[in-house]
Amino acid sequence: MKIGITCYPTYGGSGVVATELGLALASMGHQVHFISYAMPHRLNQFYENIFFHEVEMSSYPLFEHSLYGLSLTSKMLEVFEFEDLDLMHVHYAIPHAVSAYLARQVLRKSKKNLKFITTLHGTDITLVGLEPSFMPLVKFSIEESDGVTAVSRFLKEKTLTNYNIEKDIEVIYNFIDVEKFKPQESEIFRKHIAPNGEKVLVHTSNFRVVKRVTDAIRVLAKVKKEIPTKLVLIGDGPDRSECERLARELDIHKDVIFLGKQDGLTEILNASDVFLMPSQSESFGLSALEAMACGIPVISSSVGGLPELNIHNETGYIAEIGDIDRMAKYAIELFTNEKRYNNFSKNARERAVKNFDKKLVLPKYVEYYEKILNS
């Protein structure tokens, strides 16, 4: 197949899923054309069967704001026609599904049939999409998509109920390369962050308010009172300054290590003991899955699709949003009960391998593509 993929090229989970999917499809012999405003960050070298088409942003004095959605449509039209694509797969509804819809309408005039699949990832449905100005457009673009997938049962249900949609939505969970994300020695890095044998909590995100990174800092403050512990924070975003301020206010700034955006995730995860995901909203939790695949138990909030990933008392613990006392209690429990820790660590890895290995999940996308193309 020849597939066009549109996604956000930055560090967010939807871009990661789209890029890993494209890479895997290319390795299976399919031709994959990424269409975005920048090269997705995981496409950092030459890959056979992968092509990148940058959306050109035209400027004109009248256009005070960029017309990204329209420029994207134009690029989709060009690539679809001249690369002879079979299908477009857009990740994150806004504005990608609307651009694809518009491209399909344009091509209909010349009797060409562009089919597109929309994958819903999270805040496109649970947050931004619910803004009154966006809602009708999100609903419309979902209803008009030739196929729709969601990354959890939770997200599927939310889409159907919040937008009053009656449509088949296929749940295809996030996936992981279990050969890349796996338990391995990371002693040098561990010595660097925890030189005196401290325990290590870790969190990865794009530091949006919805991730509640400040809760992770408050958890550390509590845990530290019982057990010497460090907190490693990976990523960057709007809430980072507030997190740095809070760490100083709580006088634990020496124990909070801000690493910023990082590519060497497996090494850092493997130097850690427990992954924290205190999110206020989370449709699946790809970064928690990355930790689990490395055998790192997860302490998460109970929101969204997290219970579909993290099994309470088996792969980690689940607490209510903002219940910092309980999250801290769970961390101390795992730090002091070695037998339980080892059990959870084994279960976390096993759950990642048995349920979310890319070898199991990718065929579901391919089957779905075939179903939509033949419908």
Decide if residue 148 touches ligand GMT (CB under 6 A): no
Interface stretch with ligand GMT, choices 13-21, 47-55, 102-110, 239-247 (CB under 6 A):
13-21
Strand order in the sheet with 2-6: 50-54, 31-36, 2-6, 87-91, 116-120, 147-150, 170-171
CA-based Rg of the chain, rounded to a whole angstrom?
A: 21
Count of residues that interact with ligand GMT, criterion CB under 6 A: 19
Interface stretch with ligand GMT, choices 102-110, 121-129, 222-230, 255-263 (CB under 6 A):
121-129
Interface stretch with ligand GMT, choices 22-30, 43-51, 80-88, 277-285 (CB under 6 A):
277-285
Q: Supply the minimum distance, in Å, between the C-beta of residue 175 and ligand GMT.
A: 10
Q: Supply the minimum distance, in Å, between the C-beta of residue 163 and ligand GMT.
A: 15
Report which residue's Cβ sits closest to ligand GMT: 122
Q: Supply the minimum distance, in Å, between the C-beta of residue 243 and ligand GMT.
A: 17
Interface stretch with ligand GMT, choices 62-70, 182-190, 259-267, 283-291 (CB under 6 A):
283-291
Q: Is the dihedral of CA 350, 352, 355, 360 positive or negative?
A: negative
Decide if residue 13 touches ligand GMT (CB under 6 A): yes
Decide if residue 123 touches ligand GMT (CB under 6 A): yes
Q: Smaller CB distance to ligand GMT: residue 15 or 297?
A: 15
Q: How many CB atoms lie within 10 A of CB 65?
A: 5
* End-to-end CA separation in angstroms for the chain: 16
Decide if residue 14 touches ligand GMT (CB under 6 A): yes
Interface stretch with ligand GMT, choices 80-88, 117-125, 215-223, 242-250 (CB under 6 A):
117-125
The beta strand positions in the chain, using DSSP E, are 2-6, 31-36, 50-54, 87-91, 116-120, 147-150, 170-171, 199-204, 229-234, 256-260, 274-277, 298-301, 316-319
Q: Half-sphere exposure of residue 171, counting CA atoms within 13 Å on the CB side?
A: 15
Decide if residue 36 touches ligand GMT (CB under 6 A): no
Q: Supply the minimum distance, in Å, between the C-beta of residue 273 and ligand GMT.
A: 22
What is the token pair recorded at 71?
Answer: 């420029």
Interface stretch with ligand GMT, choices 36-44, 179-187, 196-204, 281-289 (CB under 6 A):
281-289
Strand order in the sheet with 256-260: 256-260, 229-234, 199-204, 274-277, 298-301, 316-319
Q: Supply the minimum distance, in Å, between the C-beta of residue 272 and ligand GMT.
A: 19
Q: Supply the minimum distance, in Å, between the C-beta of residue 283 and ligand GMT.
A: 4
Decide if residue 281 touches ligand GMT (CB under 6 A): yes
Q: Comparing C-alpha atoms, which of 367, 366, 342, 176 is closest to residue 273?
A: 342
Spatial CB neighbours of 269, under 8 Å, sequence gap ≥ 6:
181, 202, 275, 290, 291, 294, 296
Q: How many CB atoms lie within 10 A of CB 344?
A: 25
Which residue from 4, 147, 285, 297 is in contact with ligand GMT, where contact means CB under 6 A? 285
Decide if residue 174 touches ligand GMT (CB under 6 A): yes
Q: Comparing C-alpha atoms, which of 1, 2, 92, 100 is closest to residue 51?
A: 2
What is the token pair recorded at 275?
Answer: 């992954």
Q: Supply the minimum distance, in Å, between the C-beta of residue 33 and ligand GMT.
A: 20
Which residue from 79, 210, 271, 361 is in contact with ligand GMT, where contact means CB under 6 A? 210
Count of residues making up the chain: 375
Which residue from 97, 234, 243, 286 is in contact with ligand GMT, where contact means CB under 6 A? 286
Decide if residue 283 touches ligand GMT (CB under 6 A): yes
Residue position matching structure tokens 């969601």: 150
Looking at residue 298, its amino acid is V
- In the complex, the residues that contact ligand GMT under the rule CB under 6 A are 8, 12-15, 17, 121-124, 151, 174, 210, 281-286
